Chain A
Amino acid sequence: MLKFLPRRLLQLVPTLFLVSVLIFGLQQLLPGDPALVMAGEERDPAVIEQIRRQYRLDQPLPMQYLHWIGNVLSGDLGESMRIKQPVSELITAKLPVTVQLATMAMVFALLIGIPAGILSAVKRGSAWDVGANVFALWGLSTPNFWLGIMLIFLFSVKLGWLPASGFVSPFEDWRQSLATTVMPAFVLGNAIAAVLMRHMRSAMLQAMGSDYVRTARAKGLVEKTVVLKHALRNALTPVITLGALEFGTLLSGAVLTEQVFSIPGFGKLIVDAVFNRDYAVVQGVVLVTATVYILLNLLADVLYVLVNPRLRD
């Protein structure tokens, strides 16, 4: 049934190699010298030279790449130049934050997007349909940072219900953890919900007009069964692909939203690292997110097979 899996896993190797070369190469195009940025106001030429030597910035690029990739293969992602912490530690610390935020955002997106999409398709032309479309338009056209700041002003500054920013681990205090992530998750989920709703709607409309749905109705099935068991199941395939891709994007860090809510996740990590030219961090984070992204795509393919029996052979 999942015969394609070993082949796909094997394909990961050249893909990831290519990704690693791209990450390394593209980063070199960034103007600015990491040693100078690191030195900041303290311009001791001897120390700047020493930094270049220590982080091999004085070596030819292919050598730098080989050194980096060699270490990566032995499980060492390097060290942050700025705060002298191993990159793998930073990633392990940030990954749970990003996963929690992405999952909550996805829950929001699915809870809003899928029912809204189904409803607007089934009740096409009704007030429900118009309402759902207006919502989708709003979700798609509202910039995340603006919505984020507005929510902070409403729920934190005016009403005082939720903390304005920061992050608390659910293992420390689950209430605080929910309180700190509910707004950013909603902001992120809101935009995705709109996309999901639009796709769900069109896929459902297509399915509802198909022969098998007509047959199901002719058999005398209740409408609920026709919609949920027959039409929805078929309409879900494109939505799963989309959901997986959106989830992958969320896992690579929601840069603006994390910035607005000061959530210490992947997005913030990578933006700070880019501005500080902290190469090892940028490379490590992008490599990990690329891997996660590719794996999620693979997972979407597996899910297709589970949802759609025709693909099982």
Chain B
Amino acid sequence: MNFKYGRPSARLAALALALGLALAGGAQAQSTLRIGLAEDPDVLDPTLARTYVGRIVFASICDKLFDIDEKLNVVPQLALSQQVSPDGKAVTIKLRPGVKFHDGEPFDAEAAKFSLDRHLTMQGSFRRAEINQVDRVEVVDPLTIRLQLKSPFSPLIAQLTDRAGMMVSPKAAKAAGDKFGTAPVCAGPYKFVERVPQDRIVVERFKDYWDARRVTIERIVYRPIQDSTVRLANLKSGQLDLLERLLATDVDEVKKDSKLRLATGTELGYQGLTINVANGEKANNPLGKNAKVRQAFELALDRETINKVVFNGLQKVDNQWVPQASPFHMDKFPTPKRDLAKARTLIKESGVATPIAIDFMVPNNPESRAVAEVMQAMTAEAGFDLKIRVTEFATSLNEAEKGNFHLYFLAWSGRTDPDGNIFSFASCGGPLNYGKFCDKKVDELLTQARTATTFSVRKTLYEQAAAEILPRGGVIYLYHRTLLFAHSPKLAGFKVMPDGLIRVTDLKLQ
């Protein structure tokens, strides 16, 4: 044959080369901090928002009345101080003078009252439940508000260190209504610029910020990248400067890489096993009905080994709802060691026939599945037959609500005040009490711990509650996860806070 088509392979190669050269030039100027998020946040309205990842973005745009420091102490932010009345039913809060919202409106007592009232009354507010002990908000003078409470409520100030304490510009909020979250106007160090759903959220430095000298980076771009391998690849290739929720299995890789830095902290929450003790038909199983079987199950577990096998020993094993660093952690109740002989004896005493089949609902992610499999092997030795049912997250919530499980592997992101980690889970009818554990004495103790105003009294009450909850309650606590961040060495001043949220003040790009 004598025809010619040219040489397509050579042409393609030339084209690819030309394209590569044309594209190689576009580096970004480094006054922008690029943060990789594990998910796309939900609506950016502090009153309506619900996701953990959304709180990471709020940390740069919406300041709160109070904040926490690295040691979990409450520190002032938009407030200067607070004073609780002797009967515990009124809290007077002094506000910081000279603060402006991003639209130039002044932050004063009227604005603070507006924001709190909005949290309390707006349709669909997820904050109402957090601060519903507030009966009304009074303006005392232009820089002082007073919260009148229905009854004393000690977790109140801790609630104001999170979204319930975020202040929004009344003018912007009135104008935008329930669309406020598409362009939030608050009083944080950065102001909202744009959001492209599933792609990026861009904020820029607010020049009139009350603490402006601590803000040096011009812009922050939050980029949701769900796949953790890809998130890390973006950091390695320089498209990100900081990423959250690094996988435990990637820690060694980051440590070995001289161009990356690892930052860690311990979460406020926990990972645990919820037992169905009274939620519908399925509660009628030996684990749900018999405290001895439950104790045997816990003794069959070796938390340390789970931690070593699945997480390279990164997590902090524990048997309580607050992490070891919290002043409310109780040394009185050490984490039980594995004791197979005792577990077997307890099962024998309970008179239940083995193997004890257990329907174990596990959310669908690689780490949870691995933990479940290790537990399956461990508890089998004591006479349990864990039937792992891997369930997609949305489905698992529904199943948990309906009581369609014997055992449910659950994570809780944690709250600053211990009340946020226990009350909704262990009080009768608590909205997160999936196993429907209910005990009048525990209820009373937990309620008293909410209303008591001194630390020592609260701690004693929690200890009394724990003595009831830990041996026969509805949750077996396993460990507190280590918060894992990786960043480029160019980023200086990054500190991991107990709540895992990224504070953007004092950050520098070198």
Contacts and interface: CB of A to CB of B under 8 A. Distances in A.
Does B associate with A?
Answer: yes
A32 B26 contact: no
B123 A50 contact: yes
Contacts of A123: 1
Interface in A65-104: 82-85, 90, 93
Nearest to A149: B229
Interface string A22-51: 000000001111001111111111110011
Nearest to B125: A47
Contacts of A199: none
A115 B8 contact: yes
Given A32-B394, A36-B401, A165 B234 contact: yes
Contacts of A224: 3-4
A201 interface: no
Interface in B28-51: 40, 42-43, 45, 48, 50-51
Interface in B215-242: 223-227, 229-230, 233-234, 236-239
Contacts, number: 171
A164 B234 contact: yes
B88 interface: no
Given A37-B394, A44-B129, A119-B5, A164 B197 contact: no
B424 interface: yes
Interface stretch (B16-24, B347-355, B365-373, B453-461): B16-24
A223 B1 contact: yes
A111 B12 contact: yes
B73 interface: no
B398 interface: yes
A50 B234 contact: no
Given A32-B398, A115-B5, A152-B233, A175 B199 contact: no
Interface in B389-419: 392-395, 397-399, 401, 412-413
Interface string A106-118: 0000011001101
B13 interface: no
Contact of B2 (A223, A227, A259): A223
A30 B455 CA distance: 47
B32 to A, nearest CB: 13
Contacts of A42: 50, 126, 129
Contacts of A85: 182, 197
Nearest to A167: B199
Contact of B397 (A33, A164, A223): A33
B227 A259 contact: yes
Nearest to B400: A36
Contacts of B179: 84
Given A83-B197, A115-B8, A161-B24, A44 B233 contact: no
Interface in B465-495: none
A264 B379 CA distance: 44
A224 B19 CA distance: 30
Interface string B116-154: 000000011110110000000000000000000000000
A305 interface: no
Given A47-B128, A165-B234, A179-B26, A82 B198 contact: no
A45 B431 CA distance: 7
A43 B22 contact: no
A138 interface: no
Contact of B199 (A82, A122, A149, A166): A166
B181 A222 contact: no
B178 interface: yes
A262 B224 contact: yes
Contact of A160 (B45, B234, B237, B395): B237
A197 interface: no
Contacts of A227: 3
A198 interface: no
Contacts of A93: 196-197
Interface stretch (A8-16, A236-244, A272-280, A285-293): A272-280
A81 to B, nearest CB: 9
Interface residues of A, number: 67
A313 interface: no
A164 B398 contact: no
Given A47-B124, A162-B23, A264-B196, A276 B394 contact: yes
What's the dominant secondary structure at chain A's contact region?
helix
Contacts of A163: 237, 239
Nearest to B24: A161
B19 A178 contact: yes
Contacts of A272: 40, 198
A41 B413 contact: yes
B395 A165 contact: no
A156 interface: yes
B124 A50 contact: yes
A156 B237 contact: yes
A203 interface: no
A182 interface: yes
B42 A83 contact: yes
B410 to A, nearest CB: 11
A41 to B, nearest CB: 6
A260 interface: yes
Contacts of B392: 32, 275
Given A178-B22, A262-B230, A165 B181 contact: no
Contacts of A260: 227, 230
A126 B178 CA distance: 67
B398 A269 contact: no
A39 to B, nearest CB: 6
Given A44-B431, A173-B26, A179-B23, 17 more contacts: A32-B392, A36-B394, A47-B125, A83-B43, A83-B181, A84-B181, A111-B12, A118-B5, A156-B239, A166-B239, A178-B22, A179-B26, A224-B4, A260-B230, A275-B392, A275-B394, A277-B394
Interface of A: 30-33, 36-47, 50-51, 54, 82-85, 90, 93, 111-112, 115-116, 118-119, 122-123, 149, 152-153, 156-157, 160-167, 173, 175-176, 178-179, 182, 222-224, 227, 259-262, 264, 268-269, 272, 275-277
19 contacts: A36-B394, A41-B413, A42-B129, A51-B124, A82-B43, A115-B5, A116-B8, A149-B233, A152-B233, A156-B236, A157-B233, A157-B237, A165-B234, A178-B22, A179-B23, A259-B226, A262-B223, A262-B224, A269-B198
Interface of B: 1-5, 8, 12, 19-20, 22-26, 40, 42-43, 45, 48, 50-52, 123-126, 128-129, 178-179, 181-182, 196-200, 223-227, 229-230, 233-234, 236-239, 392-395, 397-399, 401, 412-413, 424, 431-432
List of 8 A-B pairs having minimum Cβ-Cβ separation, nearest first: A43-B431, A32-B394, A264-B199, A156-B237, A44-B129, A179-B23, A42-B126, A40-B50
